[in-house]
Structure 1
Amino acid sequence: MSIIIIGAGIMGTTFATLAKELAPNLDIMILERLDNAGAGNSWAFNNAGTGHEANCELNYTPVDGEVISVEKALKIHAQFNVAKQFWAYLVEQGAIKEPTTFINQTKHCTLVSESAIEELKLRFEEMSAHHFFEHMRYSEDFDEIKSWIPFTMEGRPHYEKMAATAIETGTDVNFGALTQQMAEHAVQNLGVNIEYGTHVKRAHRSPTGRWVISADRNGTAVEYRADVLFVGAGGGAFPLLKKSHLPFRNRYAGFPVGGRFLQAPISEEQARQYKAKTYGKAEVGAPPMSVPHLDLRAVDGKYYLLFGPFASFKPLLEKGRGFLDYLGSMRLHDIPGLLNVALRHSHLVRYLISETFKGEKSMFEELERFAPGMSKRFDWKPIEAGQRVQIIKDRDLQMGTEILVSKDKTYGTLLGASPGASVSPEVMLRCLEQMLPTVFTNEEARIKMKRIFPEDDLNTLINDPDRYREIRDAVNKQLGITRQ
């Protein structure tokens, strides 16, 4: 069976690696628009690099009055622990030589001001009662919080009322480095072929039932054929879906959202001093994507602080692609959905427009509110992050991700953005189960599955504390993550 994957980012590369690990006889080719794997949204500074497992993100635990919902947080935490199993397997196999090239232990903290202390306390009480978050700590003591996250507290007056939670075993993940190493392993050891510089223009079914992929490769028109097609091309998945003639294509449209960060290089000593990702609380009425956070980043042996995000509305499918690509992805039947989003989510539209025109002065003022004194302490500069295309489904805006698979299981794609790369192995595993179900009936594949994923059942991880701890501790040891 021949499979073509469009996009050599974290999703497409994970799909290819998993598929070949489980079924070595598959013929797999990846077509990538850029010149390297992981060079798009997966690249280190096109995302915040947080290993999302709901340790510190308030938007994963919405509060309604005195009731807090933790279901989403539990699912994301379980998914990330499935992801860590896959990455630990790659380290064990020597596909990744050193875990610190892509994953580094980084404290995950949440910091709120006086008005949100009760909410954070409620969140802590609910979450720390579950075995996923049993090591979460809570404090309202200024000095203790300062010991956790000194850069965010040093410029604040001692009398200011704050509250914080901390989990020591959080992570910073360089998804670009991870993707590159996976791609090298897939090519050198698994027999995957990657064609770089290949911009796919269209994919359609031939009369024989195979997929025909038309592309431009370094200025030359080329054509590929495959039995199965998976599109993991980020925002580029939308125009290909529209041209696929699949019956569900008309239900979906794309709503692009860009982002910027403030970035500052720091020394190794300063990195040891901070070593945290600190998430705050979004302003009232602001969307989840606006949650401010100050992050330590480890990239290629160097250290940086990242603050943001500062959202923007740019009608682009992907960073480096033009407006005409986005316009070309639109159809007349998409217009009512866009108008509906503009009306029903007018606050989001206004927010994105205001953020788009926010200058450096306003960005630094926001940094000062979050961490007083920080804007003058380091050499900050604004950087552009990646483009995320949110889903408009049945004329309404969706903030999550969705796997779409055709009825005949020959076409699959992933739409949406959050929590994205952090849960890519678990999401791609579910995609494989839908698209290639016969792979999982093979006894050798089932044995290999257990080696890669000792426990991939989310409900077991959520409901069986002993099994979760067993898996967590073994995987964390392999990845160099320890309780301190």
Structure 2
Amino acid sequence: MDDVILVGGGIMSATLGTLMQRLEPNWSIRVLERLPRLAAEASDGWNNAGTGHAGLCETNYTTERSDGSIDVDRAVAIARQFAITRRFWSTLPRSEFVRPVPHMTLVRGAADVEFLRARHRALSAHPLFEAMEYTEDVAMLHHWAPLVAEGRAGPWAATRDVTGTDVDFGAATRQLFDAMSLAGASVETGREVRGLTQDSDGSWRLDVHGGRPVERARFVFVGAGGWALKLLRRAGIPEARGYGLLPISGQFMRCDRPEVVDRHDAKVYGTPPIGAPPMSVPHLDTRIVDGQRSVLFGPYAGANPKFLKHGSLMDLPSSITRDNVGSLLSMARTNTPLIGLLLSELTATRGKKIAALREFLPCADSADWSVTSAGQRAQIVKNGALQFGTEVVASQDGTIASVLGASPGASTAVPIMVELMNRCFPERQWDSRLRELLTG
């Protein structure tokens, strides 16, 4: 019997496994990934935007209060969480998967310009955001992002923070697993967990397709992305009841032409369409994946019943149960603009995608850009509401746990896993050792 089994080969499992291995080096840890390759779903470098989320450029992390002031609490919290994750990554032998790329916000129209001006004023007063600059000067925009500035008419405004990063989460995940494997963990691909049963002693029996048919562990983490809820339900824990998921697919436009790529060094975020989820905020990104430099624009969010990119068309239908159907229907009634947006994106032509790109890049040549599919996201639906971000779900006895939801999950993986460990292992008193581990 293993001490720990991690189901899924993504960034969350890799982070939790590494933390546990460093805290309890004598524990036996086994990783079970159903695909032939680790980090092949949302953690894959091409399946996400690669933004090191720190609240620098995402307008949805700052909201306007009734008195016109800007609430920056969530942006500050995310910046602090990402700083913890970066410190953790810095302890790896190699951390080239994190590269400096300025983060920018670009808005158009008088109302949004006023909002961005107020947002900059509020954020730049905080030590974590003191490097943030603001401009309405086209010459400065040409200096910051020449491709974005060409052919642009006002009114517009932009901010830039040079402390921003591009992160290859796939490379980060694989490095973490490589280090775990060298330290004695068993990392196995091609092994799909299809069922979980708790024995009388509190341990778990896992039914596995591929290789040995049964594995046992004292603690199980279900890091299976959109399939996590399905496995938690099969485990029969009451804490999984009531949750529903809304799957959201995505595509990007990608450019690899050096003449374009070499002239853009930024992640430029705009504002989302009305009713759109935060993950569909349009952005024009410098990306460096497996050492290759590209520029991506998107995402074009759409409806797709799969909970994983390599999932099943039956994922959504089979997830609807007696305890969550009311919540899902209520969410659909109160989010009709979002549902309509997701459905409309399914029929969006290449011409429509290029038109959206040209709102960011007025002089874009359509011949330079191709469409690439991104990963699937499964947003939490709870109590009739669509929830963004991530949420830890754990059994009362602390023997099985998971993380549901999406962005900014990977960027804040370490604080999320620390929360999970504190909930599942309160008796371990790891606080002082974690502080030492995460502060160097």
TM-score (norm 2): 0.95
Question: Aligned equivalents of 1:61 and 1:410: distance in 2?
Answer: 36
Report the equivalent of 1:176.
170
Q: Secondary structure of the residue that 2:304 maps to in structure 1?
A: coil
| Unaligned segments of structure 2, at least 5 residues | none
Question: Aligned equivalents of 1:12 and 1:287: distance in 2?
Answer: 25
Matched, 1:15 2:16: yes
Report the equivalent of 2:251.
260
Question: Aligned equivalents of 1:438 and 1:295: distance in 2?
Answer: 44
Offset of residue 333 of structure 1: 2.6
Matched, 1:365 2:361: no
Aligned CA distance change for structure 1 residues 328 and 215 (closer, same or farther; 3 Å): farther
Which residue of 296, 300, 306 corresponds with 1:306?
296
Question: Aligned equivalents of 2:275 and 2:401: distance in 1?
Answer: 35
Q: Secondary structure of the residue that 1:14 maps to in structure 2?
A: helix
Offset of residue 270 of structure 1: 5.1
Offset of residue 341 of structure 1: 1.2
Aligned CA distance change for structure 1 residues 350 and 64 (closer, same or farther; 3 Å): farther
Question: Aligned equivalents of 2:252 and 2:136: distance in 1?
Answer: 29
Offset of residue 272 of structure 1: 4.8
The 8 Å contact of residues 231 and 237 in structure 1, kept in 2 or not, is answered as yes
Matched, 1:162 2:162: no
Report the equivalent of 1:465.
none
Q: Secondary structure of the residue that 2:213 maps to in structure 1?
A: strand
The 8 Å contact of residues 249 and 377 in structure 2, kept in 1 or not, is answered as yes
Offset of residue 155 of structure 1: 2.5
Higher-helix-fraction structure: 1
Report the equivalent of 1:395.
384
Offset of residue 145 of structure 1: 1.4
Report the equivalent of 1:356.
346
Report the equivalent of 2:129.
133
The 8 Å contact of residues 251 and 395 in structure 1, kept in 2 or not, is answered as no
Question: Aligned equivalents of 2:319 and 2:207: distance in 1?
Answer: 16
The 8 Å contact of residues 239 and 330 in structure 1, kept in 2 or not, is answered as no
Question: Aligned equivalents of 1:221 and 1:324: distance in 2?
Answer: 27
1:32-47 equivalent positions in 2, closer than 5 A: 32-47=33-48
Report the equivalent of 1:191.
184
Question: Aligned equivalents of 1:181 and 1:142: distance in 2?
Answer: 41
Matched, 1:211 2:213: no
Question: Aligned equivalents of 1:126 and 1:174: distance in 2?
Answer: 30
The 8 Å contact of residues 6 and 31 in structure 1, kept in 2 or not, is answered as yes
Map Cα deviations across residues 423-458 of structure 1 (whole Å, 9 max, x no partner).
Answer: 1112112212222234435xxx844x3442118xxx
Map Cα deviations across residues 455-479 of structure 1 (whole Å, 9 max, x no partner).
Answer: 8xxxxxxxxxxxxxxxxxxxxxxxx
Question: Aligned equivalents of 2:40 and 2:278: distance in 1?
Answer: 25
Report the equivalent of 2:317.
327
TM-score (norm 1): 0.87
Report the equivalent of 1:408.
397
Offset of residue 395 of structure 1: 3.0
Report the equivalent of 2:100.
105
The 8 Å contact of residues 8 and 30 in structure 1, kept in 2 or not, is answered as yes
Q: What's the Cα RMSD here? A: 1.7
Matched, 1:297 2:293: no
Q: Secondary structure of the residue that 2:429 maps to in structure 1?
A: helix
The 8 Å contact of residues 275 and 335 in structure 2, kept in 1 or not, is answered as no
Map Cα deviations across residues 312-339 of structure 1 (whole Å, 9 max, x no partner).
Answer: 1101110111112443333233221221
The 8 Å contact of residues 205 and 212 in structure 1, kept in 2 or not, is answered as yes
Aligned CA distance change for structure 1 residues 393 and 285 (closer, same or farther; 3 Å): closer
| Unaligned segments of structure 1, at least 5 residues | 456-484
Which residue of 64, 76, 98 corresponds with 1:74?
76
Question: Aligned equivalents of 1:214 and 1:178: distance in 2?
Answer: 29
The 8 Å contact of residues 31 and 186 in structure 2, kept in 1 or not, is answered as yes
Offset of residue 289 of structure 1: 2.7
Question: Aligned equivalents of 1:287 and 1:191: distance in 2?
Answer: 41
Offset of residue 30 of structure 1: 0.9
Question: Aligned equivalents of 2:63 and 2:164: distance in 1?
Answer: 21
Offset of residue 15 of structure 1: 0.5
Question: Aligned equivalents of 1:313 and 1:404: distance in 2?
Answer: 25
Map Cα deviations across residues 341-374 of structure 1 (whole Å, 9 max, x no partner).
Answer: 1111111111111112212111001101221011
Question: Aligned equivalents of 1:259 and 1:278: distance in 2?
Answer: 18
Question: Aligned equivalents of 2:174 and 2:276: distance in 1?
Answer: 35
Offset of residue 107 of structure 1: 0.6
Matched, 1:118 2:114: yes
Question: How many residues of Structure 1 are paired with residues of Structure 2 in the alignment?
Answer: 437
Question: Aligned equivalents of 1:238 and 1:375: distance in 2?
Answer: 43
Offset of residue 89 of structure 1: 1.2
